[in-house]
Structure 1
Amino acid sequence: MHKDITILQAAHLPEKTERELHEAFDIIHFPKDHDEGMRLLAEQGSKIRGIAVRHAHIDKAMLDAMPALEIISSYSAGLDGIDVEAARARGIAVHNTSKILAEDVADLAVALAVSVTRGTVRGHDFVRDGSWENGGTFPLGRSLRSLKTGIIGLGHIGSAVAKRLQATGATVAYQGPRKKPVDVAYFQTATELAAWADLLIVTCPAMPETIGLIDQSVLDALGPDGFLVNISRGTIVNEPALISTLARDGIAGAGLDVFGKEPHVPEALRKDPRVVLSPHMGSGTRETRQQMGDRLVEALLEHFSNR
C-alpha cells in the first residue's frame, strides 16, 4: 500500500473503486465548486502526486498548483477535459480506459447503426401503436452489409467497430491523423471519407483538431442517402449543422449516443423520427464500468510500485 502518497480524487467513482483507492492511498477529494477546489490546491497541492479523474476539468492552472504531480489516471476513455499537452510537457503520465471499454462501445455503435438504417425504433412504435395490426405498411430499410462504412478514428474503439462490420461483410474504410499498418482503406480527410461512405461512424477522441470535425462540408459529402453514427463525443459533430442538414433531408438519419451540451439534447433531434438517441451509454455495462474502475486504480498502483 502507498498511504504515504496523496491522490486527488476529482471524480465520483464506483463503490469498489472508491474503497480500493482509500485503502491504497491518502485521498483528498476535489470539491464540486471549482474556486473552492483551487483554494484547496493552494493549501495542499504541493503534496499531491496523482489524480483519479472522470469528467472533471484539469487545466494548466490546476496542474501548476500540483508541482509534485506524477500521474493522471482517468476512469473514462476521453481526455478532453484534461490539458494533456501541459501534463506531458511536465512528464506527467496520463492513462485512460479506452482499451477496456472499446468492445462495449463498439457494440453500441453497431446497434445504433442497425437501428438507424433498419428503422428498428420506428418499427417498435409501429407495432406498439397498432399501426401494423391496422394494416399499415412499414417502409424498407437498408442492409448494413451493403453499406460502405467510413470510420472516423481507428483507435481501440474504431478498430473494434471495424471488426464487427467486416464480420457482416460490409466494406470498411477509415480516416485519421495518419495511415496505420492495417488492411483497411485510408482517406486523408473526413470529407473525402464521407463522400465515399454510405454510413459514417465517429469514434475519434475529442481534441482541438477534431472538435467540429463533422461539419457542413462532411455532412454534404455524406449526402441524402447517408447515415451518421456518433459514439465518441458530441463536440466532434457540429450539432447545428446536423440539425439543419436533417431539416432539408440532407442525410437519411443519425444514431447519436453523445451530444454537444449533455444532458441537453436539442428538441429538433429528440423529435426527428430518423434520429435514434441514447444517453451516452456506450460503456454502460456493469462489467465494463467495474473494469474501468479497476484499471484506474491499477494504473496508480503500477506507477508508484515502480518508483
Structure 2
Amino acid sequence: MHKNITILQAAHLPEKTERELQETFDIIRLPKDHDEGMRMLAELGAKIRGIAVRHAHIDKAMLDTMPALEIISSYSAGLDGIDVEAAQARGIAVHNTSKILAEDVADLAVALAISVTRGTVRGHDFVRDGSWEQGGAFPLGRSLRSLKTGIIGLGHIGSAITRRLQAMGATVAYQGPRKKPVDIAYFATAVELAAWADLLIVTCPATPETIGLIDQHVLDALGPEGFLVNIARGTIVDEAALIATLSRGGIAGAGLDVFEKEPHVPDALRNDPRVVLSPHMGSGTRETRQQMGDRMVEALLEHFAKR
C-alpha cells in the first residue's frame, strides 16, 4: 500500500484499474477543464509524485506545478500530449503500454490491409444489396502476400505486423530514424520506402519529426497501384494530401483507423469505396484494455517499490 503517495489521475480507466489505484494510492482527479485543473494543481501540485494519464495534455507549465513528480505512467501506446522532453529533463520516468497492445493493433493492421486490397467491405455490400444475385461481377483484388510492404516505424507494433506478414509470405522493408539489427531491408526516408512498396503501413509514434511525414511526396511515390494503411496517429498522414491523391486516383486505396481530427472524418474519406474505416479501435479488445490498465498500475508500483 502506498496511501502516503499522491497520484494525479488524468484518465478515465477500466473499473478494475480505477479500483486498484484508489486502494493503493492517494488519488487526485484532474478536472476536464484546463483552467480548473491548473487552479487545482496550484493548490495541490506540490504533493503529487506520479501521474496516471491517458489522453490528457501534460505540458511543461503543468509539470512545473508538480515539483515532486517522479513518474508518468500512460495508458496508451503513444505519448501524445505529454511533453516528454521536459519530463526527461527533470529526470521524471515516462512509461507507456505499447508492448501490451502491439499484438491487437497488429491484428487490426493486417485486417485493414486485407480489407483494402481484397475489397472485403465492398464485397459485403455487394452481397447485401443484391448485386451478386443480380449477376453482377465483383472486381478482382490483390494478393497481400504478393505485395511488397513497407513499415513506417519498426517498434513493438511494426515488428508484430512484420511477423504476421512474413508468415503470410510477404516481402517486408521498413523506415525509421535509425537502422535496426533485423534481417529486413531498411530505407532511410519514407519517400524511398514508398517508391519501393506496394503497400505502406504507418506504425510510428506521433513526434515533431513524424507529424505530416506521409505527405504528398510520399503518396506520389507510393503511386496509383499502391495502398496505404494507418494504425498509428492521424496527424502522421497529411489528410488533405491523401484526399486529393485519392480524388485523382493517385493511390489505389487506404485503410484508416486514425484521423487528423478524431472523431471527425471528412466526407471525402467516409464516402470513398476505396477507403476502409475503423474508429481508432486498434487496442480495442477487453483483454488488451485490461492488460494496459494493469501495466499502467504496475509501472507505478514498481517505481515506488524502489523508493
Normalised by the length of structure 1, the TM-score is 1.00
Code of the residue aligned with 2:275 in structure 1: it is V
Alignment of 1:130-141 (within 5 A): 130-141=130-141
Shift of 1:9: 0.2
Code of the residue aligned with 2:273 in structure 1: it is P
Code of the residue aligned with 1:178 in structure 2: it is R
Alignment of 1:1-307 (within 5 A): 1-307=1-307
Code of the residue aligned with 1:272 in structure 2: it is D
Instruction: Work out the CA distance in 2 between the residues paired with 1:268 and 1:78.
Output: 27
Code of the residue aligned with 1:147 in structure 2: it is L
Shift of 1:80: 1.4
SS for the counterpart of 1:117 is helix
Shift of 1:123: 0.1
Shift of 1:180: 0.1
Deviations, residues 275-306 of structure 1 (Å, cap 9, x unaligned): 00000000000000000000000000000001
SS for the counterpart of 1:51 is strand
> Structure 2: where are the runs of 5+ without partners?
none
SS for the counterpart of 2:42 is helix
Code of the residue aligned with 1:143 in structure 2: it is S
SS for the counterpart of 1:293 is helix
Code of the residue aligned with 2:160 in structure 1: it is A
Shift of 1:106: 0.1
Instruction: Work out the CA distance in 2 between the residues paired with 1:47 and 1:37.
Output: 15
Instruction: Work out the CA distance in 1 between the residues paired with 2:304 and 2:83.
Output: 22
Instruction: Work out the CA distance in 1 between the residues paired with 2:175 and 2:48.
Output: 39
SS for the counterpart of 1:173 is strand
Instruction: Work out the CA distance in 2 between the residues paired with 1:74 and 1:204.
Output: 17
Shift of 1:188: 0.2
Shift of 1:44: 0.3
Code of the residue aligned with 2:169 in structure 1: it is G
Deviations, residues 25-62 of structure 1 (Å, cap 9, x unaligned): 00000000000000000000000000000000000000
SS for the counterpart of 1:39 is helix
Deviations, residues 4-31 of structure 1 (Å, cap 9, x unaligned): 0000000000000000000000000000
SS for the counterpart of 1:212 is coil
Deviations, residues 249-276 of structure 1 (Å, cap 9, x unaligned): 0000000000000000000000000000
SS for the counterpart of 2:32 is coil
Count of equivalent residues: 307
Instruction: Work out the CA distance in 2 between the residues paired with 1:122 and 1:178.
Output: 38
Shift of 1:162: 0.3
Instruction: Work out the CA distance in 1 between the residues paired with 2:305 and 2:22.
Output: 16
Instruction: Work out the CA distance in 2 between the residues paired with 1:196 and 1:270.
Output: 28
Instruction: Work out the CA distance in 2 between the residues paired with 1:207 and 1:58.
Output: 15
Runs of 4+ in 1 over 3 A off after TM superposition: none
Instruction: Work out the CA distance in 2 between the residues paired with 1:80 and 1:125.
Output: 36
Instruction: Work out the CA distance in 2 between the residues paired with 1:34 and 1:197.
Output: 43
Code of the residue aligned with 1:227 in structure 2: it is F
Shift of 1:215: 0.2
Instruction: Work out the CA distance in 2 between the residues paired with 1:169 and 1:181.
Output: 21
Code of the residue aligned with 2:189 in structure 1: it is T
Q: What is the aligned-residue RMSD (CA, Å)? A: 0.3
SS for the counterpart of 2:49 is strand
Normalised by the length of structure 2, the TM-score is 1.00
Instruction: Work out the CA distance in 1 between the residues paired with 2:75 and 2:51.
Output: 11
